């Protein structure tokens, strides 16, 4: 396998998490191809050395980046591509491609379901863009973009079926404030990141309707067991659900005030409609879009998932959050 310096690295996305990934990559790499959505963002990064919208305090050295609004240029010129756009924009973002993805190493740090297809991102890339499974990896937490911006010690999990490639990707990310471990559990890591966002919405709803820390602890305890049942059904393997990629990511997303999914749930619990909560937030709550796809999946596999069912009823059936959460309390232990 080639050394890290021999790979051309690309980054697609310019939201908060993409900006955090750019900051991390810049600690190890001197030549990063970065696709951003428009000339305004590109110009601001070049002239002012900041993302104008997200993590605006993070300063970049423009000499380390080749910033482009042409996704074909970035894909063509890259060997390893970090894909970091919200799941709701993945299809639209990639539909502009006339350069094939199948020969690239794609590393998804997207924690959601592709709408209309109800597929995890790697499944979407495999089915719609013919990317071989051996060319796909995943980055998961527990990690918030805001703490990366502050250079607080954070942990990432890199999943790839080839341990050597996983280590190569992890070496792109390791720095004085980032530790990265590797795993070959690509499916579990990706779906664990999707599921924890739904549970974070549940935690936010519970807080919004008035439940306290005692109930939150019970909710998270039940959530990790519910996650384990679903992951076991989706992709059976001997995984430790207490690992940081599963339990750790669930806890930080369920409890942290940086969590956009918890924030979204809290707004719903306080009486916001789904539409008004989405409009007020400046960031995408991936768990909202994931809830529908996962709800249909759990029915398909006949898995008992009372927390996901409760969130679905509130978000998609318009049920009263307080009444649904009150009923949920009787199903937890």
196 catalytic? Reply is yes
**Dihedral sign for Cα atoms in the order 324, 290, 249, 93:** negative
Residue ranges at the known binding site for substrate: 111, 260-261
- Residues tagged in the binding site annotation: 111, 145, 260-261
**Residue 11 Cα distances to 178, 276, 280, 313, angstroms:** 18, 31, 28, 36
CA angle, corner 107, sides to 258 and 164, nearest 5? 120
| Pair of tokens at residue 39 | 């000339």
Helix (H) or strand (E) holding 138: strand 136-140
- Taking each helix axis from N to C end, the angle separating 87-94 and 286-301, rounded to the nearest 10 degrees, works out to 100
Task: Report angle CA 123, 111, 171 to the nearest 5 degrees.
Answer: 90
Q: Which helix (H) or strand (E) holds 11?
A: strand 9-12
Q: What are residue 322's phi and psi, to 5 degrees?
A: -65, -45
Q: Which residues are annotated as a binding site for NAD(+)?
A: 145, 260
**97 neighbors 126 (Cβ within 8 angstroms):** no
The rounded distance, in Å, linking the Cα atoms of 11 and 26 is 11
Q: How far is CA 63 from CA 33, 34, 47, 67, 312, in A?
A: 11, 12, 11, 10, 46
Distance (Å, whole) CA 252 – CA 78:
32
Task: Out of 23, 42, 104, 196, pick the active-site residue.
Answer: 196
Measured distance CA(294)–CA(296) in Å, rounded: 5
Catalytic residue list? 196
């Amino acid at each position: 396998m080639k050394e890290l310096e021999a790979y051309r690295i690309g980054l697609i996305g310019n939201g908060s998490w993409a900006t955090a990934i750019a900051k991390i990559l810049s600690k190890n790499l001197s030549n990063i191809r970065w696709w951003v959505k428009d000339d305004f963002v590109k110009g601001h990064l070049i002239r002012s050395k900041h993302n104008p919208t997200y993590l605006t305090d993070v300063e970049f050295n423009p000499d380390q980046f080749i910033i482009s609004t042409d996704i074909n240029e970035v894909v063509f010129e890259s060997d390893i591509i970090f894909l970091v756009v919200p799941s709701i924009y993945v299809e639209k973002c990639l539909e502009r491609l006339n350069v094939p993805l199948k020969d690239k190493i794609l590393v998804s740090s997207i924690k959601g379901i592709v709408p209309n297809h109800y597929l995890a991102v790697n499944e979407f890339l495999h089915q719609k863009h013919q990317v071989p499974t051996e060319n796909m990896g995943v980055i998961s937490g527990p990690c918030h973009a805001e703490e990366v911006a502050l250079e607080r010690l954070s942990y990432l999990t890199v999943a790839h079926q080839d341990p050597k490639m996983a280590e190569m990707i992890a070496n792109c990310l390791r720095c004085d404030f980032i530790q990265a471990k590797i795993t070959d559990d690509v499916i579990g890591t990706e779906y664990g990141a999707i599921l924890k966002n739904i549970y974070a919405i549940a935690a936010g709803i519970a807080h919004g309707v008035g439940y306290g820390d005692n109930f939150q602890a019970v909710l998270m305890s039940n959530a990790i067991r519910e996650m384990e049942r679903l992951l076991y059904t989706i992709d059976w393997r001997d995984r430790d659900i207490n690992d940081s990629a599963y339990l750790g990511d669930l806890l930080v997303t369920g409890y942290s005030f940086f969590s956009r999914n918890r924030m979204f749930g809290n707004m719903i619990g306080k009486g916001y409609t789904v539409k008004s909560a989405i409009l007020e937030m400046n960031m995408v709550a991936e768990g909202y879009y994931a809830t529908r796809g996962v709800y249909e999946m759990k029915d398909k596999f006949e898995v008992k998932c009372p927390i996901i069912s409760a969130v679905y009823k509130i978000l998609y059936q318009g049920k009263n959050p307080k009444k649904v959460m009150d009923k949920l309390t009787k199903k937890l232990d």
